[in-house]
Amino acid sequence: MDYRLVCTSCGEKYDRDSGRFRCSCGGILEVKYDYSTLRLPKRFREETPSHQKYLPLFPVKKLVSLGEGGSDLIKAKSIGWPLKNVDLFLKIETENPTRTFKDRGSSVEIAKAKELGFGHVCCASTGNMGLSLAAYAKRAGMECTVFISRSGNRKKIEKIRKAGAKLVLVNGDFNKCLSAAEQFARRRNVFVCGDYHYRKEGQKSVGFEIIDQLGRVPDYIFVQAGNATLLAAIFKALDEYKRIGFIKRLPRLVAVQSMQCDPLIRAFKKKREIKYVAPETEADAIAVGFPTFGFEGLNALRKTGGDAIAVHDRSILWTSQKLAKHMGIKSELGGAAGLAGFLEIYGDDMKRFDGKTVVAIITGNNED
Of 202, 184, 105, the closest CA to residue 145 belongs to: 184
Q: Which residue stretch of 21-29, 88-96, 98-106, 258-266 sits at the interface with Zn ion (rule: CB under 5 A)?
A: 21-29
Rounded to whole angstroms, how far apart are CA atoms 200 and 213?
21
Binding to Zn ion (CB under 5 A) within 24-83 occurs at 25, 27
Q: Which residue stretch of 5-13, 176-184, 215-223, 323-331 sits at the interface with Zn ion (rule: CB under 5 A)?
A: 5-13
Shortest distance, CB of residue 307 to Zn ion, whole angstroms?
30
Work out whether 340 is an interface residue with Zn ion (CB under 5 A).
no
Contact call for residues 97 and 66 (beta carbons, < 8 A):
yes
Shortest distance, CB of residue 32 to Zn ion, whole angstroms?
13
Inter-axis angle of helices 197-214 and 229-244, to 10 degrees? 60
DSSP annotation of 55: G
Show Cβ contacts of residue 174 under 8 Å, excluding neighbours closer than 6 positions.
Answer: 124, 125, 126, 149, 226, 279, 287, 288, 289
- Closer of 9 and 151 to Zn ion (Cβ): 9
Q: Which residue stretch of 20-28, 116-124, 152-160, 341-349 sits at the interface with Zn ion (rule: CB under 5 A)?
A: 20-28
DSSP annotation of 177: H
Contact call for residues 129 and 285 (beta carbons, < 8 A):
no
Rounded to whole angstroms, how far apart are CA atoms 313 and 339?
13
Rounded to whole angstroms, how far apart are CA atoms 174 and 279?
9
Shortest distance, CB of residue 24 to Zn ion, whole angstroms?
7
| Binding pattern for the stretch 125-144 against Zn ion, x by CB under 5 A and - elsewhere | --------------------
What is each CA distance from 103 to 128, 168, 249, in whole angstroms? 9, 21, 28
Shortest distance, CB of residue 26 to Zn ion, whole angstroms?
7
| Binding pattern for the stretch 178-217 against Zn ion, x by CB under 5 A and - elsewhere | ----------------------------------------
Rounded to whole angstroms, how far apart are CA atoms 168 and 251?
40
- Closer of 29 and 165 to Zn ion (Cβ): 29
Work out whether 7 is an interface residue with Zn ion (CB under 5 A).
yes
> Residue 191: which H helix or E strand, with range?
strand 191-192
Q: Which residue stretch of 6-14, 154-162, 233-241, 307-315 sits at the interface with Zn ion (rule: CB under 5 A)?
A: 6-14
Work out whether 18 is an interface residue with Zn ion (CB under 5 A).
no
Work out whether 9 is an interface residue with Zn ion (CB under 5 A).
yes
DSSP 3-state of 62? coil
- Closer of 213 and 299 to Zn ion (Cβ): 299
- Closer of 4 and 242 to Zn ion (Cβ): 4
Which of 5, 23, 110, 181 is close enough to bind Zn ion by CB under 5 A? 23
Rounded to whole angstroms, how far apart are CA atoms 191 and 183?
11
Contact call for residues 78 and 326 (beta carbons, < 8 A):
yes
Which of 3, 12, 20, 259 is close enough to bind Zn ion by CB under 5 A? 12
Shortest distance, CB of residue 10 to Zn ion, whole angstroms?
3
List residues near Zn ion by CB under 5 A. 7, 9-10, 12, 23, 25, 27
